[in-house]
Amino acid sequence: MITTEQYQEALQLVRGWSRAWIITHARPDGDAIGALVGARHVLRRYVQDVTAIVFDPVVPRYEFLVADDPLTRWSKLLAAQAGQIDGLLVVDTCARNQLEPIAPVLQTLKAPIVVFDHHHSRDLEASLALIDVDASAASLMIAEWALANDLALDAPTTVALFTGMAADTGWFRFANADRRTYELATRLIERGVRPVEIYRRLYCSDRPERLALLGKMLGTLELHEGGRCAIARITREMIRSCGAQPGDLEELSTDIGRIGSVVYWALLTEMSDGRVRVNLRSKHSVDMSRVAETLGGGGHARAAGARLSGSLDEAQQRILTCLQQQRE
């Protein structure tokens, strides 16, 4: 757990900046968006020019968090200005392979880098890296950062941070939703967050196309090892035939874990660039972050991922082999 002194040290470092960027991993999820919004709020108290950057569009499910104060899309024009910033804040990742669009900039960047992350995988060099693998969400860490420095949070920021925590804990039902998470969620509720409204936006606003894709995905489900392991697929043709958008693919892997016998599972998705995105999940026993690292990816013990070259069949065989090696 990050101490109050460490959070205060981070604030002292960034408050000396005049122009700052905040970034997160590609394909930002709810926690990444929540942490970006929260970090932007903190930096704006002290930094004159703050730009919160995303490499990909915000999926519709989370657009309400930034509708009145949009994030900035990464571009070549922005990259050309990298030499003018005084500092870079990275949230919800410390892995270079999740920051591919900005990789050339990172190689030559002279400005200090501060990281807030809760994942096991890390290879990004930073001036200050606050890593807490016990934190349920990066949004939780940003909320703690603000509270440790007695900074007031406005309504949009509290909603974003609560949403980030809710997203990374499966609406507070995953094993990472611990006492620390519930206590901080309570503090945000006391500051005006209305959970019922956020739940409706996150989980009661699906497009019909997403449910159609979910049905097709479940139709590919294979059980292995007596039902303990499950693997499902999503092909580009399935996405096309359902009329699904990128945001419709988010959290589809969660439904596989509803099978009682399944302990660990993988969802393989064909990407437009020819690679296969792998979502790895487990209820217990298998450390999926280790499996993902073997495949060139990373993440948490119970939720991790990677991107593989080759066909779906080849990706599936690699995953099954890695799972077997992990259990031995």
**Per residue in 27-53, pLDDT tens?**
999 999 999 999 999 999 999 999 999
State mean pLDDT over 219-228. 94
Gap between the Cα atoms of 258 and 153, Å rounded: 36
| Domains within the chain, CATH numbers bracketed | 4-202 (3.90.1640.10), 208-327 (3.10.310.30)
pLDDT value, residue 328: 53
pLDDT value, residue 285: 77
Average pLDDT score over the chain: 94
Over residues 279-321, the pLDDT tens digits come to: 999 998 788 988 998 898 888 888 889 999 999 999 999 999 8
Stretch among 6-15, 116-125, 303-312, 318-327 having the lowest mean pLDDT: 318-327
Q: What amino acid occupies position 135?
A: A
pLDDT value, residue 97: 86
Gap between the Cα atoms of 115 and 91, Å rounded: 6
pLDDT value, residue 246: 86
State mean pLDDT over 196-220. 95
